Chain A
């Protein structure tokens, strides 16, 4: 039998005062489970960037963290404008962020590329005017330590 831990977090669109709260919970949970810090760091970057995307662009979203012996699974689904051209959005430096988001040091076009760099598996589905679903995985070596 494989032990699986799962928890979901609500993300409110436009609320920068709470941005990072879901990623912070992800970090706390993964540390409590006792995963190696390199896995935790990668998962935290994925969670934070995905959370910031929801806060920056969407109306609301839900992050679900699932941890099994084989992988950390982070899935973020939002209700929002969607992404017109996912390939373009994956390019480093491309961003549709507004000026005030950029002034805060977000919207540099690094979010999705950062998620990709830290994922062993990444799948993005989006429908314009409906929302976006980002599903990222960090695969764990046997025993929970990187080889």
Chain B
């Protein structure tokens, strides 16, 4: 599915790079530990997190993630938005917490597809 469908279905607010919502999403990963995301996320995943600082952009770019969903209505820092624009990383905000966002994406058919280990 495309990012646009997720934005519309979950009522997300797009904070950066709304011109890139045609990006294909192939999975999802939820975590607030950056090393964990480095190790376990896959290219094409949408990443659910509460972290709002600029280092999330490097992690998303290095892993070719489809976009970042910030939870609990958390606003990205200004430096984060600037870097997101430079790197073309889509940032979306949900008013809901991680559990609800992940549950809704799962209902839409997205899977993590990450085995143990």
Q: Which residues of A contact B (CB under 8 A)?
A: 16-17, 19-21, 23-24, 27, 37, 41, 44-45, 48-49, 52, 104-106, 108, 110-111, 114, 117
- Residues of B near A16 (CB, < 8 A) are 53-55
Establish whether residues A20 and B35, one from each chain, have CB atoms under 8 Å apart when the complex forms: no
Contact B51 A104 (CB under 8 A): yes
Instruction: Check: B39 CB closer than 8 A to any chain A CB.
Output: yes
Q: Could you count the A-B residue pairs with CB atoms below 8 Å apart for me: how many are there?
A: 58
Taking a contact as CB atoms closer than 8 A, the residue among B32, B38, B51, B58 that contacts A49 in the complex is B38
- Please report the total number of B residues contacting A with Cβ < 8 Å: 19
Q: Which of B62-97 contact A (CB under 8 A)?
A: 62-63, 79
CB of B62 within 8 A of CB of A20, answer: yes
Q: How far is the CB of A90 from chain B (nearest CB, A)?
A: 14
Q: Contacts A110-B36, A114-B39 known; A48 to B62 CB distance under 8 Å?
A: yes
Once the chains bind, are A20 and B39 in contact (CB under 8 Å)? no
The answer to whether B35 and A19 have CB atoms under 8 Å apart is no
> Could you write out 6 A-B pairs with CB less than 8 Å apart?
A20-B61, A24-B62, A44-B62, A110-B33, A114-B35, A114-B38
| A20 close to B58 (CB less than 8 A) | yes
Flag whether B105 is at the interface (Cβ < 8 A).
no
Cα distance, A110 to B35, chains bound together (Å)? 6
CA of A52 to CA of B39, assembled, Å = 14
Q: Do A104 and B34 have beta carbons less than 8 Å apart?
A: yes
Q: Closest residue to B56 on the A side, CB-wise?
A: A105
A52 to B34, CA, bound (A): 10
Given A17-B79, A19-B55, A20-B55, answer yes or no on A27-B35 (Cβ-Cβ < 8 Å): no
Q: In the complex, which of the residues A24, A41, A52, A108 contacts B36, with contact meaning CB atoms closer than 8 Å?
A: A108
The 8 closest A-B CB pairs, nearest first, are: A20-B58, A110-B35, A105-B34, A108-B33, A105-B51, A114-B39, A105-B32, A105-B33
Chain A residues with CB under 8 Å of B58's CB are 19-21, 23-24, 48
CB-defined contacts of A45 to chain B, threshold 8 Å: 38-39
Contact of B53 among A41, A44, A104 (CB under 8 A): A104
| Chain A min CB distance to B78 (Å) | 12
